[in-house]
Amino acid sequence: MKKITIKRGIACLTLICSMAMLATNVYAGPSDTSDHSQHANKGPGKIKKDKEEQERAANGKWVQEGDRWQYMYKDNAVSDKWFKIGKDYYRFDENGYMMTGWYLYGTDWYYMNPEEGADQGKMKKGWVEYNGDWYYLYEANFSGINAGAMAVDITINNYTLDANGKWVP
């Protein structure tokens, strides 16, 4: 565990978090300008599950269609929303397919694990490597920033991140 001091504007907050280096491969990077934003759902850190969603998470099932995945509950796919299954957040597109790679939500970038296997689609947190560059995704909610959002224009424990969130050695 390392102590990290994060400064964003005037607000300062000290977080205790693990600095695990996570190597991954992705589809599109954070400088991608395609419009994946403007969704009416709340970010992953602000979801309050109602009774039906709790039941859906507990009683749903994963269904594979080709190389894509959907999370089904009573024959309906979870669609166009963030969804928490167990301890992990996933993002589903308007057709109900699990999203992978970088995802722009509002003004924040999130990274949904694209690697095939049990962790595919899970929202990543902490340090992530993409095309040889390192990015930091917040590990906890604070000061209006959701867990999983990419840090930009900030220095974290002497690691400076530029406007695109990339670590500048």
List the single range of 22-26, 60-64, 114-118, 156-160 with lowest mean pLDDT: 22-26
Query: Which range is most confident: 34-38, 56-60, 113-117, 120-124?
Result: 120-124
Closest C-alpha to 103, from 90, 119, 88, 87: 90
List the single range of 15-24, 31-40, 127-136, 140-149 with lowest mean pLDDT: 15-24
Residues 114-137 have a mean pLDDT of 94
Closest C-alpha to 134, from 119, 146, 121, 124: 124
Residues with Cβ within 8 Å of 66's Cβ and at least 6 positions away in sequence, in order, are: none
pLDDT range class, residue 16, cuts 50, 70, 90: very low
Q: What percent of the chain has pLDDT over 90?
A: 40
Read off the pLDDT of residues 30-72 as tens digits, 9 standing for 90 and up.
443 333 333 334 566 555 556 666 666 677 888 898 889 988 8
- With a cut of 80, say whether residue 118 has pLDDT above it: yes
For position 78, what pLDDT does the model report?
Answer: 80
pLDDT range class, residue 155, cuts 50, 70, 90: very high
Residues with Cβ within 8 Å of 80's Cβ and at least 6 positions away in sequence, in order, are: 39, 41, 92, 93, 94, 96
Residue 167 neighbours by CB distance under 10 Å:
16
